[in-house]
Amino acid sequence: MPRLRFAPSPTGFLHIGSARTYVFNWLYARRHRGAMILRIDDTDVDRNTQASLESIFEGLRWLELEWDELYHQSQRLHLHRQLAQALLERGVAYRDFTPPSAQPEEKAHGAGPWLFNPGMRELSREESDRRAAAGEPFVLRFRVPRDPPRILRFRDLVYGEQEKSTADIEDFALLRSDGTPTYHLASCTDDIDMKITHIVRGQDHLTNTFKHILIFEAAGAPLPEFAHLPLLVAPDGSKLSKRRHGAVVSVTTYRDAGFLPHAFVNFLCLLGWSPKDNREVMTRQELIEAFSFEGINRSNAVVNFREDDPFDPKAVWLNAQHLRTMPVRELAPYVRRTLEQAGVPIPYDEERFLTVIDVIRTRYSMLTDFVTRGRAYFSEDYPITPEAQQKLDEPGARQLLHELADRLEASPEFTEASVERDLRQLAAERGVKAGLIINAARAILTGQTVGPSAFTVFVTLGRERVLERLRRA
């Protein structure tokens, strides 16, 4: 059974790129009936924050992609140290007593890459033990094979055959001088211990993978499959960052803007992945069934936002598609929650509520549209736009609306057909175009000049509210 993991470090809010990584992991896990593991990689105590941790859970819960197991790396430090100790004992790791941050600028223009600190690889075990026992601080480094170097290879599920010489890999740190594990050590230790079968992560880890292979080998553990994902970038090709690009990179921004979690997931999937059959609007189940690493492409994907419009037009379009086509019964709870949060009343029983949603959702693209553009369908307290005001101010319009109210009240029925008949008859008798009354009616009934068919609006609102509003005109 496949075991996948998503391992965010709680050093910032949940990033849209991280969310996509989670989605791909989840999709593969579900597709192959595997386990989805959420592991909080909180080994960098200086940068971890509680707010960030909460943002991750909040964001992931909103996506509605549940995980099966949860771990905190900080509670597993003993395992990391255990492996570090074993590697030291076996001689594949060594202590480096060089003080930190000696020459930061020398590296910048240096001719070759830094590989290790001189003298430290050759320290005898006795001297190393003695200095450590004396309390001298050290970092534990991996002794990367050098004489002769080795060619490391693996087959990435997305990027294909990869190889790199150990001559180009520095003796990376395993343990910091305060004894805490670095990312490489902690991550590999846990991946081994949790029996992770597929490591699916950002392409920024592609070259790190060689270090990880070294650790896996040294630990005597079988290699998992690796699949690296192209990165999400800003329109100028730079990587997405909160500082430069603001709220667009945070998943809570999409939630607050009225995206359906499901549509957002759909959008994320389309960034760097394709089912290759031209399908785009897909349900969760369709995504699960269609997902495979072969469909992932290898170049970075641009999230197409702008200063004045923070959302990728395709994301908005996808949201509209889902909003309009998903079973109305599934949509209703989201609409209800959105209205409740905005303090808008819902004067309907469940069935009527569904009908109203079904009528108005055909022109909406965001959940928030229900509280803004759809306000008049729920509340008596709705604004009249200037355009709508104009329709009402047409000569004779108000008088006609009042007359219409009387006729509708007297009419034996109140259906789309009957309302249309009554209205058109009134227009004919008064010698005006039906459009005049229709547009004025929509204006007073909804506060807007745009929306569903006016006759549908009449019936949707119900006779009582219609009469009251027409007479108020």
Partner RNA sequence: GGCGCUAUCGUCUAAGGGUUAGGACGGAGCCCUCUCAAGGCUCAAAUACGGGUUCGAAUCCCGUUAGCGCUACCA
> Hey, which residues are catalytic here?
242
What is the closest distance, in whole angstroms, from the C-beta atom of residue 216 to RNA in the complex?
16
Count of residues interacting with RNA (CB under 7 A)? 82
What is the closest distance, in whole angstroms, from the C-beta atom of residue 114 to RNA in the complex?
4
Cβ closer to RNA: 252 or 274?
A: 274
What is the closest distance, in whole angstroms, from the C-beta atom of residue 155 to RNA in the complex?
12
Interface pattern 56-95 for RNA (x via CB under 7 A): ----------------------------------------
Q: Does 306 bind RNA (CB under 7 A)?
A: no
Kindly state the DSSP code that residue 1 receives in the 8-state scheme.
-
Q: How far apart are the first and last CA of the chain?
A: 67
Which of 411, 343, 334, 327 lies closest to 366 in space, CA to CA? Answer: 334
**What residue type is assigned to position 294 of the chain?**
E
Q: Does 16 bind RNA (CB under 7 A)?
A: no
Cβ closer to RNA: 275 or 462?
A: 275
What is the closest distance, in whole angstroms, from the C-beta atom of residue 105 to RNA in the complex?
12
Beta bridge partners of 296: 273
Q: Which stretch in 24-32, 99-107, 246-254, 374-382 sits in contact with RNA by CB under 7 A?
A: 99-107
CA dist 244 and 238 (Å) reads 10
Residues 182-241 that bind RNA (CB under 7 A): 182-184, 187, 203-208, 230-231, 233, 235, 237-239
Residue 146's Cβ-side half-sphere holds a number of Cα atoms within 13 Å equal to 12
Cβ closer to RNA: 339 or 454?
A: 454
Q: 98 φ, ψ to 5°? A: -65, 130
Interface residue with RNA among 57, 71, 293, 317 (CB under 7 A) is 317
Q: Does 176 bind RNA (CB under 7 A)?
A: yes
Q: Does 100 bind RNA (CB under 7 A)?
A: yes
Residues 122-141 that bind RNA (CB under 7 A): 137, 139
Cβ closer to RNA: 139 or 371?
A: 139
The angle, 0 to 180 degrees and rounded to 10, between the axes of the packed helices 416-430 and 434-446 is 130
Residues 429-468 that bind RNA (CB under 7 A): 434-435, 438-439, 442, 449-456
What is the closest distance, in whole angstroms, from the C-beta atom of residue 353 to RNA in the complex?
21
∠ CA 9-14-19, nearest 5°, is 100
| Collapsed DSSP state (helix, strand, coil) of residue 77 | helix
Which of 154, 304, 297, 312 lies closest to 229 in space, CA to CA? Answer: 297
What is the closest distance, in whole angstroms, from the C-beta atom of residue 349 to RNA in the complex?
26
Q: Does 2 bind RNA (CB under 7 A)?
A: no
Q: Which stretch in 7-15, 143-151, 283-291, 462-470 sits in contact with RNA by CB under 7 A?
A: 7-15
Residues 333-362 that bind RNA (CB under 7 A): 362
What is the closest distance, in whole angstroms, from the C-beta atom of residue 59 to RNA in the complex?
16
Q: Does 272 bind RNA (CB under 7 A)?
A: yes
CA dist 11 and 6 (Å) reads 15
CA dist 13 and 256 (Å) reads 14
Interface residue with RNA among 131, 314, 463, 465 (CB under 7 A) is 314
Helix residue spans in 393-453 (DSSP H): 397-410, 416-430, 434-446
Listed in sequence order, the residues at least 6 apart from 336 whose beta carbon sits closer than 8 Å to its beta carbon are 346, 353
Helix residue spans in 162-312 (DSSP H): 183-193, 208-218, 242-245, 251-256, 261-269, 284-290
Helix residue spans in 49-182 (DSSP H): 50-63, 77-89, 104-109, 125-133
CB 231 within 8 Å of CB 21: no
**What residue type is assigned to position 434 of the chain?**
A
Cβ closer to RNA: 177 or 379?
A: 177
Q: Which stretch in 87-95, 126-134, 275-283, 461-469 sits in contact with RNA by CB under 7 A?
A: 275-283
Q: Which stretch in 40-48, 192-200, 244-252, 258-266 sits in contact with RNA by CB under 7 A?
A: 40-48
Q: Which stretch in 192-200, 253-261, 299-307, 462-470 sits in contact with RNA by CB under 7 A?
A: 299-307
CA dist 21 and 231 (Å) reads 9
Interface residue with RNA among 122, 147, 178, 351 (CB under 7 A) is 178
Q: Find the largest Cα–Cα distance for the chain.
A: 109
**What residue type is assigned to position 463 of the chain?**
R
Interface residue with RNA among 21, 26, 83, 312 (CB under 7 A) is 312
What is the closest distance, in whole angstroms, from the C-beta atom of residue 43 to RNA in the complex?
4
Helix residue spans in 165-207 (DSSP H): 183-193
